[in-house]
Structure 1
């Protein structure tokens, strides 16, 4: 149950008596305290001084930084008790406290736990931007919107919390996080990653494995062990002073420092309703504790047991619902008084009309003890009572039957659709799996499982998809579902599973779909097959098979899917045709961002990088507006590499954000792709002497998914090669770059090798490998063909010039400077640097200076500091001195700060910037507060000039 705990400080003279139950009206069986042992809140948990000191320290420091912290431990070890102490300390500091507690029976109910947290704040939702407000209310089925994006919901949660934190610091307590529904966990993880600059502390408790948050860095976890022997003895003696010495020793030994076990074993033994058998030595701690709790309920009368039975399977917290359902189960009228023994025995807790099972082990014990028929009747009673809540009712109906039932399965499938429209993708997948389990028709069962797997793919859950695939394999499938299953194969590597047999299987499935006039499925399968051959080349015959299969599908010749298939499969062979047909499309693909994304991929894979950036900018804008972070990360990662190949080295444009979003959405391959881009940009700008951490991380991802290795590793080698060139380490540069051109090397990639050619030629000239590099150049000319795209032309023109003999070099350098690279400062500057260096080596030092000065100025302008220094070294060799590198104030900003500054310079408000970048408006304000002094300005209207300034300040 959610509530705001008032932040009035406690009575400083109060002394808290020993209690295992009471906390401000809440029953808390795991809480243990001793009289007159004081801490800041007038009480102390035995054996937890270090943990309390750490928790209180985080709360005390909330003015300087927010944080997300968590306590991991077995049931009863004291996680909730420590959290309760943190609540009391937070209240003494003036915090507003928001709470939620997970329940095993609520894990399927989307946004249930989030609603607990936000219930006291929902009246403030009208102050949110419209898209955020609508998304938040829709996820709770409280608004008119029927379909929402979850990331706008998440952003709304963040905004509500940081607005509240502007008035008073906030503590968000999430107890039993492992039992919370996945959409709530996702929303709270989003918030936890963005509170560093806010007066917000998130405190979680959870069982140790698996971690609730997929990203281990979201929360700073502390593993709780049992309390020390002296503290355990003191607690037991205070709670059960009449135990015999033998029984006391037994309890201490069996509890192993678990505070709840110490209290509950002693309570059960003293009551006489629990007998300890030798078999208990072999039972796990959880089972023994469940037995102790079950002993409390065994002697209660039938009316109370009916209430407890319903409460144990209920997915809500309304006392009235429980009493109404228990009355059906009991067969006689029941009121609040009938439930009183359950509260007195510490099995249920209640505040107002909201109740909770006192401890998860109580609910587990009650469910374990009830016969299956009783459990089914309880679910049936709740389904009747919850008729006004169709989704909850159908879940209970599904739990009330023992066999398969198509009607209920269909209702569950419909409820899954409702959950999906509300942005609760994880819950929708769970509902579909339940619907599959109830499906009498094996084909319908398989179809529903595949739908669940497709949702799992959207969420990036490899394990779930693999588990469902294993379950579906061998089942009776409809033809279309066989194709869906084939598409799911390897989908987590974005098509990186390039085994020829698997690719051919996709092509065969696509041909079957074509014969069945299922154009959409055929194209989906062929795009998947083509993606695979980009990541890892399965050979020319199979690549051509994909192209032939695509030509058989009844789609227009300029269909973006078709162009993407051509470009991914046969980049060189189909390049001229693809480029000609791309020219027919406007940059925004006629207002269709989904099509623009495919056109951007087609342009990128053929080396038409200008069009790639233009096409990809449309879906970037649209996906950002829609809050679709997963697809946005992919589009940004591809655009970042198109920018790099054009010679734009600015991580703030695409690469840095792509990396952060891909990390957050669990897309390891796109995160690795972006990491390589960020490292390469860093190498061009400032250089690095040792292997970059980001490259090592990306390489680890590549080697962990070997079928994806070629494209990723080619990028790693290019980044390392360029960094070595910038540092004038040519031998190392050649060694790094050469790998991209060797077919037997894992880093070989047939298209990327052409784009890397110019850098290899640079390294070859400085290491005396002219003949070897000229042989490679000839091979690349054959591969590129007679009508290559801009990316290939730039590389070929440059390489021909630097590898030419003395007689033809000058003319080829002119072509390299004035040809495809003429409008691209980075590429023209490289040609001018190479030309000036060549002139100097020809003893034409005076002539060389003009080109070398132009190269140095251009490198400095694009932020390529290491390369500007290379050009200056060449100039110094001609006798010219006196250059001092200038700096731009924007170089003092991080990529994210640069993004924020540029958007603010365009006139966007803090809220508008926050919504674009998935940050709170207060975080944006904090960033701007730090940006202004870095730029030497005091107001927003000075931003535009400051960002363009290169005054050396």
Structure 2
């Protein structure tokens, strides 16, 4: 089944329909190599045959282009019962084309059923066959026959068709939707980042999509590295064959242009003259322009299809390619940023100085957020390395860049090339951590952190800040979720402090707060607020600053930074970071009680993690979704998510990530009115003897634990815990912990003064916690027979909980309100009827984004967005996007 081509098939159907009615005709399908002409011809022939039309076919063969009537003989051999006298007429090379055409028309007339004649590759038909077929085609109007021809672009075809009088249909590249659908068909498991590269490279060329898609599925990111696309023999023959007929000097010019990373014709000619002195001039590119292989505008040379560039580079020997790169490097001597790539490509052995320069290029690309370029540069630098330890370090850096892009295949391939015995202790620790993450065999927690601390200290002492920052960035999140020895944590934090004093990387204080949230959190949050206010940080840094805010207990700032970073990461195509951001954003939204936002973010984050082959983040996604479902009061959905998370994490043994399982179960039990069960689940997260102990997760759960304690009478244990956590709150000033302790103290005070003090705290950016206090005080007042005072508090609490999607809490506020003598109906949950993707699209549209903007953010087509919105409006009972915010109750 051919994707797209609706207008082309309509034209072909009209042609066959007219032919069946006795009004025959001819049509030429033309376009560039690989555009799908043959596939369309074959499908048309199949459909015609299926509808009772007889099909005869021929094709031009390049080797027979000088044999008169070779093409017509091939056609008649497919219909020996009709050929008759025509065979004898064509047997003479002196037969005039109009006589041959007349013989062909006799064959057509002899057939009682409708007839379709297919002619493939007319550019390679012998001249006699072409003239006869064109003559006959112009005279089919009175016949029940049609002729369908395919032709590749080129001067010979232009010459033939210009005076033929035959109708033409030009096949254009497939649109983005059909390209994506075709790629998904040929390479269904391809990671989104690789799929995006294939789509960009193929530019809608079906043959390119098929061949490159299959190559990428086999070889991962290596299949699409710049300058060495591994085209199959079929694709190489297709595109290289176009060049084979050009003059040698033109072929040389095109080869230089294919290996050049620029498009300056002057640059290409100068390099070609170095390659073959005196052989090349500007006019030598003209044959390639005439054949439509390239176009030249204002001395800018551009290939009409990128696959031709790749085919050219593969059509010559490695020695020849190195000579071309050496010539380009000499021409580009004044441009070291570009010249280093050509020097690297021209190198025929290890070169440590060149490897060092490429490493610097990779580091600059990394800072520019060009992860793909950085990966390629690090990998090439590793290939050129003379120092084994440097080789290993550069390969580890390439692994990191591949991981950021979501290219798991490339990351695993690069890991497999590393010789572990050559690594430094720090790189070996990172290597083992990467292996653990990629293969998911165990969770070693903080076992290796002492080695990391020693390496960071050594790098800091040696002044290698960039390598130290990269190492800390790799281990920071693992450190946060490992409950490591406090002494090791302090060593890491001190090493970061020392680097911060001499290095202005904005990530350093943020990473310090991820590793030591209590001792370094407050200072880091001040710095992050300043950077956020100033703006200008790149998307990756913004994401890491958001993550640092989250681990330091500031979910509000984290969510703001995540929302900004997501836009940039989407634009850069860094899906390997984006899915982590979406899942983390969802978890922090859930910590803020915002079930609506969490549930809108999870589907895409979870889907990307699966598509990229990153199962390690799925438990986090399930935990975030389970927490949001618990807030909504969907106990069964929350239980399913908790069970899935537990099943994934239990094989690793003692694991702080298990804290999320008890988070989900505890909040679900609390929302369902089972405070004793909730307290038991949540208390485990705070118990150092429990396998799921994790103090920093506990900082987000203090208020939930206090609410459960109030419901089951466990205030003595709560008081003890408050006393234990107070020093950390005073030192680190983490917003989540401060908010939780503020509510816990109100519960322990159990007085009007205590609740009023809690309500007086600044919580405008923590609406769930404000509503929780309003509910608790309102319920306290009602039970003391002060219903009039309780109602405003309970109404406000219910409204906030409803807006956040925390339905279980909103229902409890309504219950208390009814008990006070006032009823409040539950609002219509319009959003509940939407699918997760519809919800996401609806929220973005309500925020004012255009369909195209939404499509770019969600990696779908604008047409898909339009289709979803057309379904969303009737579901919500609205007519336009201006009503979406109200319908979704977005505040």
Q: Same fold (TM over 0.5)?
A: yes
8 Å contact kept, 2:586–2:624: yes
- Displacement of 1:789 in angstroms is 2.8
Q: Is the Cα contact below 8 Å between 2:675 and 2:712 reproduced in 1?
A: yes
CA contact 1:437–1:445 (8 Å) conserved in 2: yes
Equivalent residue number for residue 266 of structure 2: none
Counterparts of residues 721-870 of structure 1 (less than 5 Å): 721-785=666-730, 788-804=733-749, 809-821=751-763, 824-842=766-784, 848-870=790-812
Q: Which residue in 2 is equivalent to 1:3?
A: 35
CA distance in 1, matches of 2:59, 2:482: 60
SS of residue paired to 2:878: coil
- Which of 816, 838, 845 is the equivalent residue of 1:874? 816
Secondary structure of 2:676's match? helix
1:647 aligns with 2:593: yes
Q: For the residues of structure 1 that align with 2:378 and 2:706, how far apart are their CA atoms? A: 56
Shift of 1:564: 1.6
Contact 1:571 1:606 in 2 (8 A): yes
**In the alignment, does 2:559 pair up with 1:616?**
no
Q: What SS does structure 2 have at the residue aligned with 1:548?
A: helix
- Once the two structures are TM-superposed, the CA of residue 424 in structure 1 deviates from its matched residue by 11
Change (3 A) 1:750 1:425: closer
Match of 2:433 among 490, 493, 517: 490
Aligned partners of 2:786, 2:870: CA distance in 1, in Å? 52
The Cα of 1:206 is off from its aligned counterpart by 11
CA deviations 1:19-45 (Å, max 9, x no partner) are: 9xx99999xxxxxxxx9xxxxxxxxxx
Pair 1:857–1:408, CA change in 2 (3 A): closer
Distance in 2 (alpha carbons) for counterparts of 1:411 and 1:777? 54
How far apart are residue 616 of structure 1 and its match?
3.5
Larger relative helix fraction = 2
- Separation (CA, whole Å) in 1 of partners of 2:446 and 2:777: 45
Q: Does 1:569 align with 2:512?
A: no
Distance in 1 (alpha carbons) for counterparts of 2:882 and 2:751: 50
Structure with bigger gyration radius = 2
**1:158 alignment counterpart:** 176
Q: How far 1:824 moved relative to its partner?
A: 3.4
2:263 is aligned to none
Matched, 1:509 2:438: no
Normalising by structure 1, we get a TM-score of 0.57
DSSP-derived class of the 1:811 partner = helix
Residues 339-738 of structure 1: pairs in structure 2 closer than 5 A: 379=317, 442=388, 445-446=391-392, 449-460=395-406, 465=411, 468-469=414-415, 472-476=418-422, 483-491=426-434, 499-555=445-501, 560-651=506-597, 654-689=601-636, 691-703=638-650, 709-710=655-656, 712-738=657-683
Q: Would you say the 8 A contact 2:625–2:638 is kept in 1?
A: no
**1:542 Cα offset (Å):** 0.9
Q: Is residue 854 of structure 2 the alignment partner of residue 909 of structure 1?
A: no
Deviation of 1:925 after TM superposition, in Å, equals 0.7
Q: Do 2:510 and 2:528's aligned partners in 1 also have CA atoms closer than 8 Å?
A: no
Task: Please report how far the alpha carbon of residue 502 of structure 1 lies from its aligned counterpart in structure 2 after TM superposition.
Answer: 1.7
From the superposition, tell whether residues 315 and 547 of structure 1 become closer, same or farther in structure 2 (CA, over 3 Å): farther
Q: CA RMSD for the aligned pairs?
A: 5.5
Q: Is the 8 A contact 2:510 2:545 kept in 1?
A: yes
Secondary structure of the equivalent of 2:775? helix
Q: CA deviation at 1:204?
A: 11
Q: 1:210 to 1:516 in 2, by over 3 A?
A: same
In 2, the alpha carbon distance for the partners of 1:945 and 1:528 equals 43
2:866 to 900, 911, 925: 925
Q: CA deviation at 1:725?
A: 1.1
Q: Distance in 2 between matches of 1:424 and 1:599?
A: 19
**Residue 596 and residue 457 in structure 1: after superposition, are their counterparts in 2 closer, same or farther (change >3 A)?**
closer
Q: Is the 8 A contact 2:594 2:805 kept in 1?
A: no
CA distance in 2, matches of 1:505, 1:583: 32
Deviation at residue 943 of structure 1 after TM alignment? 3.8
More deviation, 772-781/424-433: 424-433
- Number of residue pairs matched by the alignment: 659
Whole-Å separation in 2 of the counterparts to 1:471 and 1:941:
55
User: Matched residues in 2 for 1:730 and 1:589: separation?
Assistant: 44
Counterpart for residue 301 of structure 1 = none
Change in CA separation of 1:424 and 1:696 when aligned onto 2, cut-off 3 Å: farther
2:378, 2:613 → 1: CA distance?
22
* Higher-RCO chain (CA-CA 8 Å, sequence separation at least 6): 1
Give the Cα separation in 1 of the matches to 2:833 and 2:742: 36
Q: 1:541: how far off?
A: 0.9
Compared CA separation, residues 939 and 494, structure 1 to 2 (3 A) = same
Structure 1 residues 873, 430: CA separation in 2 closer, same or farther (over 3 Å shift)? Answer: same
> Unaligned 5+ residue runs, structure 1?
27-34, 36-96, 98-118, 125-156, 163-169, 192-201, 215-309, 325-351, 355-375
The 8 Å contact of residues 399 and 415 in structure 2, kept in 1 or not, is answered as yes
The offset of 1:682, in angstroms, is 2.4
SS at match of 2:695: coil
Q: Secondary structure at the match of 2:595?
A: coil
Report the CA distance between 1:924 and its aligned residue: 0.6
What CA deviation, in whole Å up to 9, does each residue of 1:832-876 have, x standing for no partner? 222233344445566544433433333223322221222233344
SS of structure 2 residue aligned to 1:572: helix
Please list the CA deviations of residues 579-601 of structure 1 after superposition, one character each: whole Å capped at 9, or x if unmatched: 44445444354454444334323
Q: 1:318 matched to which residue of 2? A: 240
8 Å contact from structure 1 (residues 469, 485) kept in 2: no
* Alpha-carbon spacing, 1:387–1:208, altered in 2? closer, same or farther (3 Å): closer
Structure-2 residue corresponding to 1:236: none
Q: Residues 763-792 of structure 1: CA distance to partner in whole angstroms, max 9, x if unpaired? A: 223233222222222222233236623211
Q: 1:103-502 to 2 correspondence within 5 Å?
A: 121-122=172-173, 158-159=176-177, 161=179, 187=197, 318-319=240-241, 379=317, 442=388, 445-446=391-392, 449-460=395-406, 465=411, 468-469=414-415, 472-476=418-422, 483-491=426-434, 499-502=445-448
| 2:350–2:383 contact (8 Å) kept in structure 1 | no
Do the aligned partners of 1:597 and 1:615 also contact (CA within 8 Å) in 2? Answer: yes
Query: Counterparts of 2:889 and 2:194 in 1: how far apart (Å)?
Result: 43
Once the two structures are TM-superposed, the CA of residue 920 in structure 1 deviates from its matched residue by: 0.5
CA distance in 1, matches of 2:834, 2:242: 57
Alpha-carbon distance in 2 for matches of 1:822, 1:174: 50
- Cα displacement string for residues 332-351 of structure 1 (whole angstroms, at most 9, x for unaligned residues): xxxxxxxxxxxxxxxxxxxx
What SS does structure 2 have at the residue aligned with 1:923? helix
Unaligned runs of 5+ in 2: 1-32, 63-77, 79-149, 151-169, 202-208, 222-231, 247-290, 294-313, 330-339
Q: Secondary structure, in 3 states, of the residue corresponding to 1:748?
A: coil
By how many angstroms is 1:923 displaced?
A: 0.4
- Structure 1 CA distance for aligned equivalents of residues 192 and 317 of structure 2: 22
Contact kept? 2:48, 2:54, Cα under 8 Å: no
Name the CA distance, whole Å, in 2 between partners of 1:443 and 1:617.
39
- TM-score of the pair, normalised by structure 2: 0.61
Alpha carbons of 1:160 and 1:910: their partners in 2 closer, same or farther (altered >3 Å)? farther
Change beyond 3 A, Cα 1:189–1:827? farther
Paired with 1:857 and 1:737, the residues of 2 have a C-alpha distance of 27
Q: How many angstroms apart in 2 are the aligned matches of 1:425 and 1:625?
A: 13
Assess if the C-alpha contact under 8 Å between 1:633 and 1:658 holds in 2. yes
Q: Distance in 2 between matches of 1:783 and 1:596?
A: 26
Distance 1:207 1:161 in 2: 14
Distance 1:638 1:737, change over 3 A: same
Call closer, same or farther: CA 1:853–1:565 in 2, change over 3 Å: same
